[in-house]
């Protein structure tokens, strides 16, 4: 039986209460065009209420020993595990990704819960020798206070867990603004936090648009960090505003990720990797492969095999287990993809497959796009430089390994890259020279594991990382502590003999 929501309209979760907001808009299932639920369009006043509650609650929470804070995350993990199928189905309904991928995304959240719960007994600082006699020195992590989390629609639950779980175990309180397109995961996760016994005011969910709710968070003086994942334009504006306030900001933004296929690659394996990373989530992943940099010796073989496998990809509602390609999030997304198909053609790339909006008799009201393959692209084309965020991949032929690395690095983004080769020397050269935050060898560009740092170089971010132990650096301040037990005043750098 398919999961259903008990309510027709979601409510904000503020200070442990479910708060109704009058204005709302519809959440649409992109595979069917049907309304699933109404989501509140909150005001900046709702943000102020949430921040006020969070600020009070955080003072107490910071005093709870971290291993006890972690107990809540363990319970959250178990509840998510119990509800994995329900969460996955609702995720597919609001976002469109096929159910297998939705289950993977929910699992990522479960993994993050247990991993970060473990951090409750680590949160390591350092003890280090002091330079003076009878003096003790150490560093420790401290919570920052109230943190603001702004998330996109393409990973409605995983990204929120990458951010909120480390924030909470570290002793912060959270204001979370999910994307208006995909609010259901936030609603479900807030309910899970409530059931898990998280004290009131530590997790607050405020639904609404970026321009109102997001903007109010960015400008609120009591929110000490903004952790944002989304597009480059929005991220840059947020960073500029946070810069003026000297507010910490962590940005995870777009990608233009490439798979390199060398002449000695296992081409069948490369085809599998490309299909999964280019067309999974209909290409709407920040790590999606949208360029294939192929050695000219294997170009025609790769094209042939890719085309043969692309024909087998079934498109349709993601709740049907047989489908491999789900919908595009909304009409605006499709229009953007269509504009890039035209750009690619005008630039002289050769369209080998797809390039059109897809519909069939049972999917008249959904929004789908056929898997698309361009070939004979070159690195300077816009289709090889800009994020398309759809199931569109462009083959760029190269003559050498060195050229492949240069083409990979010749974009403004630096999120993920991959190389297929059997040459161990090239493997090590590639992992050294590929200028991206994530590198895969003999696998596609997607598939991050939560205990490793996630993020990118150059225009993808601003040097922070989501997930992994590195996420704790975003949500903590370092404090250096010196304890002098000599009984006299000892001056550092001066009384040292």
Three-state SS at 418: strand
Q: What is the residue-wise DSSP string for 105-126?
A: HHHHHHHHHHHHHHHTT----E
| Segment lying near ligand NAP (by CB under 6 A), choices 225-233, 295-303, 370-378, 478-486 | 225-233
Binding mask 446-475 for ligand NAP (x = CB under 6 A): ----------x---x-----x---------
Q: Applying CB under 6 A, does 436 fall inside the site for ligand NAP? A: no
Alpha helix stretches (DSSP H) within 246-392 = 267-279, 299-310, 331-347
Q: Applying CB under 6 A, does 210 fall inside the site for ligand NAP? A: yes
Q: Applying CB under 6 A, does 68 fall inside the site for ligand NAP? A: no
Let me know: does 184 contact 94? Beta carbons within 8 Å. yes
To ligand NAP, the closest distance from the beta carbon of 178 in angstroms equals 6
Return the closest-CA partner of residue 146 out of 226, 234, 251: 226
Q: Applying CB under 6 A, does 234 fall inside the site for ligand NAP? A: yes
Structural element, H or E, at residue 142: strand 135-143
Q: Is 252 a catalytic residue?
A: yes
Q: How far apart are CA 46 and CA 479, in angstroms?
A: 33
Q: How far apart are CA 212 and CA 208, in angstroms?
A: 7
Considering beta carbons, is residue 151 or 421 the nearer one to ligand NAP?
A: 151
Considering beta carbons, is residue 159 or 398 the nearer one to ligand NAP?
A: 159
Q: Report 328-387 residues binding ligand NAP (CB under 6 A).
A: 387
To ligand NAP, the closest distance from the beta carbon of 234 in angstroms equals 3
Q: How far apart are CA 87 and CA 233, in angstroms?
A: 30
To ligand NAP, the closest distance from the beta carbon of 376 in angstroms equals 26
Return the closest-CA partner of residue 356 out of 344, 364, 348, 368: 368
Q: Applying CB under 6 A, does 223 fall inside the site for ligand NAP? A: no
In the sheet that holds 248-252, the strands lie side by side as 17-19, 12-14, 203-205, 173-177, 146-150, 223-229, 248-252
Binding mask 238-277 for ligand NAP (x = CB under 6 A): x-------------xxxx----------------------
Alpha helix stretches (DSSP H) within 348-479 = 401-409, 424-433, 471-475
Q: Applying CB under 6 A, does 101 fall inside the site for ligand NAP? A: no
Q: How far apart are CA 472 and CA 275, in angstroms?
A: 34
Q: Report 140-179 residues binding ligand NAP (CB under 6 A).
A: 150-155, 159, 177, 179
Q: Applying CB under 6 A, does 397 fall inside the site for ligand NAP? A: no
State the catalytic residue, choosing from 94, 119, 252, 303: 252
Give Cβ neighbours of residue 494 (< 8 Å, ≥ 6 apart): none
Considering beta carbons, is residue 70 or 253 the nearer one to ligand NAP?
A: 253
Q: Which residues are catalytic?
A: 252
Which positions touch ligand NAP (CB under 6 A)? 150-155, 159, 177, 179-180, 209-211, 214-215, 218, 229-231, 234, 237-238, 252-255, 286, 387, 389, 415, 456, 460, 466
């Amino acid at each position: 039986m398919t999961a259903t929501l008990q309510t027709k309209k979601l409510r904000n979760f503020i200070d442990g209460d479910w708060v109704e907001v009058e204005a709302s808009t519809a959440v649409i299932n992109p595979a069917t065009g049907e309304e699933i639920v109404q989501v509140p369009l909150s005001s900046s006043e709702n943000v102020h209420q949430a921040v006020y509650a969070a600020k009070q609650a955080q003072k107490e929470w910071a005093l709870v020993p971290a291993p006890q804070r972690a107990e809540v995350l363990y319970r959250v993990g178990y509840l998510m595990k119990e509800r994995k199928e329900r969460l996955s189905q609702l995720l597919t309904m609001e976002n469109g990704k096929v159910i297998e991928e939705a289950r993977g995304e929910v699992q990522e959240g479960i993994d993050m819960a247990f991993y970060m719960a473990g951090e409750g007994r680590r949160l390591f600082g350092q003890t280090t020798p002091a330079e003076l006699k009878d003096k003790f020195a150490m560093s420790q992590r401290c919570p920052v206070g109230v943190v603001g989390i702004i998330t996109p629609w393409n990973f409605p639950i995983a990204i929120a867990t990458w951010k909120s779980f480390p924030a909470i175990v570290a002793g912060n309180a959270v204001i979370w603004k999910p994307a208006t397109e995909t609010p259901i995961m936030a609603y479900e996760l807030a309910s899970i936090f409530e059931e898990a016994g998280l004290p009131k005011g530590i997790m607050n969910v405020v639904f609404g648009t970026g321009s109102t709710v997001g903007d109010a968070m960015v400008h609120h003086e009591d929110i000490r960090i903004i952790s944002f994942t989304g597009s480059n334009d929005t991220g840059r504006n947020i960073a500029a505003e946070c810069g003026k306030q000297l507010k910490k900001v962590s940005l995870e933004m777009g990608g233009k990720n490439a798979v390199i296929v060398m002449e000695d690659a296992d081409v069948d394996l490369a085809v599998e990797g490309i299909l999964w990373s280019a067309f999974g989530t209909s290409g709407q992943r920040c790590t999606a492969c949208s360029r294939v940099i192929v050695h000219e010796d294997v170009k025609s073989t790769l094209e042939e095999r890719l085309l043969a496998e692309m024909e087998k990809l079934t498109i349709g509602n993601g709740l049907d287990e047989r489908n491999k390609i789900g919908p595009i999030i909304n009409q605006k997304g499709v229009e953007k993809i269509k504009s890039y198909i035209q750009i690619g053609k005008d630039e002289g790339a050769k369209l080998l497959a797809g390039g059109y909006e897809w519909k069939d008799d049972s999917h008249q009201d959904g929004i789908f796009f056929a898997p698309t393959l361009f070939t004979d692209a070159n690195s300077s084309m816009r289709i090889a430089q800009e994020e398309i965020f759809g199931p569109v991949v462009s083959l760029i032929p190269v003559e050498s390994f060195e050229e492949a690395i240069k083409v990979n690095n010749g974009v403004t983004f630096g999120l993920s890259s991959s190389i297929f080769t059997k040459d161990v020397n090239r493997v090590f050269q590639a992992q050294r020279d590929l200028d991206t935050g994530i590198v895969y060898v003999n696998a596609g560009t997607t598939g991050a594991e939560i205990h490793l740092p996630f993020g990118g170089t150059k225009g993808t971010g601003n040097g922070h990382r989501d997930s992994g132990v590195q996420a704790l650096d975003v949500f903590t301040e370092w404090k250096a502590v010196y304890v002098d037990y000599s009984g006299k005043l000892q001056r550092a750098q001066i009384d040292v003999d």
